[in-house]
Amino acid sequence: MDPPEPRTLLEQIFQHSRWTIDETCREYEKTARQMREQATLSPRQLWRWMSGETAHARPVAQRVAERYWGHPFDILTGPPEATGDREDEIGPQQQATAGAEQIWSSTGCGRESEAGDHTDRRTALRAFAGTTVGIGLASTFGQAAAEAMEFTRRAEASDLGPRTLDHLELVVVGMASAFPHTPPAQMFPIARAYRQQVATLIAGKQTLRQRRELYRYAGWLSIILGWLSHDLADPVAAEAHYLDAWEHGWQAEDGEICGWAMDTAATIAMYANQPQRARDAAIRGATQAPAGSAAAVRLACQRTRAHGRLGEARQFDESLADTRRQLDHLPDQGTGLFSADAGRIDSYAATASIWLHRPDQAVTYAQQAIDFYDTVPQTQRSPTRQAIAHLDLGLALISMKTPDGAAEVAFTALNSERITGAVLTRAAEVDSAFQRSYPRLPATRDLHDRYLDLVQSRSGDRQLTAASGDRTVSPATHPDWLR
């Protein structure tokens, strides 16, 4: 299958190279070290650049990119060149290949010598075998060479197509980006089908490098499935998926996957009313997540929220300040599911402040979270987190004896485009608070009815997802964000 038409010059360069996404990222970071620049490049960040998305690209990252690919950054992320324009141009990846060929040729391997009697390497070896060590040893060399060639053939044997791993990368990036705005019941069967396909590929034949990459994608897909299960209010499945994600990330020696797996674990534990376990998961994940990554900031958020639930006010204040410092130095906040932003920090802080009996602070933090998501671009919004911030604001207003304002923000939350298990959990708390404090208020009855309707609707979503079973993945069944 031919690769899709490149969207940018950078994607065009990548498609013409022989390197994988991970190899390209490693070489980029090697260039950064040579330049003595503090710049890293993740596969997802590279995919965003290749798609033309550069909103969060730091100047230092752009400088390294310009050195590595040999073009100004705006040209790299602009339209691709017309076919034939690049025939005389050699990019850094091709230069590396050319350099290796030059070293190879300088030894006399694979070509005739440019001096002397034009004796090539094979002729020299035959002469050496015949005059120095004899015909018998030459035969042994011949057998050893044949064996080495067979070893190489076996090492290269693989059932994977040339673009299978690239396709999986697109799937993971697409799902992560679409996650905040896609109903969980719609995404779950697709993610599950891809996870099953990766398991089938792992059971087949592939190179060692490819196997490691398949383990990585198994981990990413299991994280997505863990969050979807949580959103569908199925904690047992959610826990099974995050454990699977951790194991595959650990086997692949990918700390980022392990970190995100523990981020999922911390949320599951928190909603199971196990804050100590949530804090432990956040601490464990922080030992694996790369420093300065979105995963590290998210884990710091989880630790902060757990301190609040445990009633540890001083630790909460200190952890919140530390989390904000980490966010300020975050080079890439990420997008979608695998992201960290100020809105999430404020939302977690609002929830924790309610637990710490600080309603004034809860109102401030919740309103900051709502304002943040109201002002950022649509692609950076989190409807679920925004709904929870509205519900936290409602809880704080109830405790401050302001039922009218509480009812208004609660109804706003329950009309969210993405109602999840987490939203319903917080909505149940708001519903109980109204029933307890204002049982005769008309808004209390209306809110209760709306809440029951949503619970019934979500129950239907879970049944539909459980009945989905095995599903064949084909482009015809994909939503727009996977095409």
- The CATH number covering residue 339 comes to 1.25.40.10
Write the DSSP assignment of 377-395 as a string of letters.
-GGG--HHHHHHHHHHHHH
Between 194-203, 320-329, 448-457, 465-474, the lowest mean confidence (pLDDT) is in 465-474
Inside any domain, residue 110: no
460 and 324 within one domain: yes
The token pair that represents 122 in the structure block: 């094979």
Model confidence pLDDT, tens digit, residues 207-265: 989 999 999 999 999 999 999 999 999 999 999 999 999 999 999 999 999 999 999 99
433 and 458 within one domain: yes
Inside any domain, residue 285: yes
Q: What is the pLDDT of residue 278?
A: 97
146 and 289 within one domain: no
318 and 264 within one domain: yes
421 and 340 within one domain: yes
175 and 49 within one domain: no
Helix ranges (H only) for 35-163 are 43-51, 59-69, 73-76, 92-106, 121-128, 134-156
List 339's β-bridge partners, or say none.
Answer: 334
304 and 383 within one domain: yes
Residue 360 CB burial class (10 angstroms; 0-12, 13-18, ≥19): exposed
323 and 216 within one domain: yes
Q: With beta carbons less than 8 A apart as the criterion, state whether 188 and 225 touch.
A: yes
pLDDT of 378 strictly over 80: yes
Inside any domain, residue 1: no
Mean pLDDT of 16-22: 82
Chain mean pLDDT for the chain: 83
Inside any domain, residue 47: yes
Model confidence pLDDT, tens digit, residues 26-82: 889 888 888 888 888 888 889 889 988 887 788 888 999 999 998 999 899 999 887
Inside any domain, residue 334: yes
Q: What is the pLDDT of residue 433?
A: 96
Q: With beta carbons less than 8 A apart as the criterion, state whether 344 and 387 touch.
A: no
174 and 30 within one domain: no
CB proximity list for 129: less than 8 A, separation 6 or greater: 135, 137, 138, 141
3-state helix, strand and coil shares in percent for the chain, rounded to the nearest 5? 70, 0, 25
349 and 236 within one domain: yes
- What is the DSSP secondary structure assignment for residue 181, as one 8-state letter? G
Inside any domain, residue 476: yes
Cα–Cα dist 137/121, whole Å: 17
Query: Between the ranges 57-71, 135-149, 334-348, where is the mean pLDDT highest?
Result: 334-348
395 and 300 within one domain: yes
Inside any domain, residue 107: no
pLDDT of 480 strictly over 80: no
Three-class DSSP category at 428: helix
Helix ranges (H only) for 252-328 are 255-271, 275-286, 294-309, 313-328
pTM for this predicted structure: 0.69
Between 141-150, 168-177, 447-456, the lowest mean confidence (pLDDT) is in 141-150
Q: With beta carbons less than 8 A apart as the criterion, state whether 80 and 9 touch.
A: yes
What range defines the domain where residue 146 resides? 115-156
Q: What is the pLDDT of residue 1?
A: 53
Inside any domain, residue 380: yes
Q: What is the pLDDT of residue 108?
A: 40
217 and 304 within one domain: yes
pLDDT of 376 strictly over 80: yes
Mean pLDDT of 353-366: 97
Split into its structural domains, the chain has a count of 3
Cα–Cα dist 298/286, whole Å: 9
Residue 256 one-letter amino acid = E
